[in-house]
Amino acid sequence: MSRDDELVRAALGAVKRAGAGEGEPDTLGARRRVLFPDFEEAWILAEKGGLIAVDKPAGVPSQAADPSWPDDVVTRLGRFLEARGEDGYLGVHQRLDRDTSGVLVFARDKAKNPALADQFEGRRVDKRYLACVRGWKGGAKTLRHRLAKVKGRVQPVGKGDRRGKRAVTHVEVAARRGDRALLALRIETGRTHQIRAQLAAVGCPVAGDAIYEGPAAPRLMLHAAALGLEGGPRFEAPTPRAFDAWLAGQDAVSLEDAGALDDALARAMQGRWGLGRAAEAPAPTTAFRLLNGEGEGVPGLAVDVYGEHLVAHLYGAEALRAEDGILDALAGLGFAGVYVKRRPRQANEIVDPTRCEIAPAGPVRGRAAPEEFEVRENGLRFPVRLGDGLSTGVFLDQRDARARVRAEAGGRRVLNLFAYTGPFSVAAAAGGAREVATVDVSAPALQRAREAFAANGLEGQRVVREDCFAYLKKLGRRGERFDLVIADPPTYATTKKTRWKSGKQWVGLAASCFAVAAPGAIVLLSSNDGRMSMGRFRRFVHEGAREAGVKLRQVKELPEPSDFPGSAPKRLWIRL
């Protein structure tokens, strides 16, 4: 069995034990602890001489982004050691980027710390990496640069730039297939993003590196292969099999390759540990995206978590051909059941979402969820229905935007247009909004919005069933103004009064939103139109501001949520 097989088996084996059976955990939090364990024994490479070496999976951070809810490898390994009845102390002297896999070494014995620190600080540790690139010319080279962070990313700067720090990387070619190469690298220095920035600077960014615009790959193709201590042990982490597949020409995971799909799901489970365990957070979250399709090198498949269940979104012919294998692999993760949505590739492709062959009402694997149940998002309660057509009742990619709305809503009059089931409205009301107007043309969606308000103890809100474009005109005539305006329309929509198509029509919609915004207001405009670039979206919004005669004080692009990498969202947070 290969090392990859061992790691995947370890990652998936634990979650399979979360399935129904004797001794099954009886709370969602307890089940999530089984599905998303603190650490896996198979990740430990060696424990000797007061040291522990681990093979950190890609997707696991070395340092927690949120100290109040740590999801980093140090915290997780410490908990694992404590669960074994041992001291959880770890002396930390190195880090790897979140999406870089490979060797990390920690001191278990505090007495080992000074000597280990001296070796790392004195650059006497032999650190070896592997990286996949395209277009490498020639053979061995030594890369010498001065690196500094410029405009948000690390890059070479001139000798006279005092921000620059010396970076030296020795490069050899370990394998080559056509224009693809596997590089073996030894670093003398240890700068942030050193290998990634230096390879990008010579025209060969690491495959899968979104920051440095590397070629397509199913993951960041950078691996800390070995680490040798002076006069001490040497630790090695075997090459992930994704590297060989990429060298052979596979830029993405084939859904018909069971091993590659298992690898991708294992990476997803490892990378979503923080969200998976957030069911037990003080303000719990129980719904999130587990796998984001093409953004994570798995085109044709996206997977969402709702409480105990999964929802698989299938796009395109390959996904449909591989459907049984995909669903079996998802069932093997250990969730209670799996629902499927067979989606069109293009948003303008018309399908009847109620057809059972498009979106079956029941699970295709495992047991059924209640027809309607609540998921949590930062403590808020949202009713969802997994078997009710293509949509469930909440768009998970807006989680961070809703948190921002909640934080800013206090004392404001809020207008939520194209509100659907009202998650933005619930967030605003929970944040202390003085008034929330929830507007949508769909009566069933608005009834669910009322239920969402009630579930959160926020009854008595203003809910309006009307065409949003017509309602904006009505508000303008009445002279009503709002302190926070939210518009998140679909890409295409047709009502009795309006035919909407995302694109140039955004000029008029933006103008109408600005026209009902009070001085100093915030306007959140969001588009899921994959055909429209952020540049075009911004131009349309600025044209709308000119048409409305308002000045935009700040236009900020909101980033993608951590569980939606590569989504290229178009969300503008605008202050007038």
Report the C-alpha gap between 468 and 466 in whole angstroms.
6
Confirm whether 36-247 and 258-373 share one CATH topology. Answer: no
Encode pLDDT of 475-516 as tens digits. Answer: 999 999 999 999 999 988 787 777 888 879 999 999 999 999
Q: Establish whether 97 is a catalytic residue.
A: yes
- For the chain, domain boundaries: 36-247, 258-373, 395-575
Which tens digits make up the pLDDT trace of 9-23? 555 554 444 444 445
Biggest alpha carbon–alpha carbon distance for the chain: 81
Inter-residue contact 378 to 389 (CB < 8 Å): no
Q: What is the mean pLDDT of each run of 10 residues along the chain (576 residues)?
A: 54 46 70 95 95 96 85 95 95 95 96 91 94 97 96 92 95 98 96 97 97 96 97 94 96 95 95 95 96 95 98 96 98 98 66 71 97 98 96 96 98 98 98 98 96 95 95 95 97 80 90 98 95 94 97 96 89 98
Q: Of 445, 446, 286, give the one whose Cα is nearest residue 369.
A: 286
The whole-angstrom separation of Cα 133 and Cα 185 is: 12
Tell me what pLDDT residue 493 has.
79
CATH number corresponding to 258-373 = 3.30.750.80
Active-site choice (4, 97, 397, 440): 97
Give CATH superfamily name and number for 395-575.
Answer: Vaccinia Virus protein VP39 (3.40.50.150)
Paired with 438 in beta bridges are 416, 463
- pLDDT confidence of residue 499: 83
pLDDT at 24: 58
Identity of the residue numbered 45: L
- Using CA atoms, how far apart are residues 442 and 463, in angstroms rounded to an integer? 11
- For 254-266, what is each residue's pLDDT tens digit? 999 999 999 999 9
| Reported CATH class of domain 36-247 | alpha beta
pLDDT in tens, 416-454: 999 999 999 999 999 999 999 999 999 999 999 999 999
Total Cβ atoms within 10 A of residue 216 = 14
Task: Please report where in the chains the tokens 């474009």 appear, as a residue.
Answer: 469
Confidence at residue 19, expressed as pLDDT on a 0 to 100 scale: 43
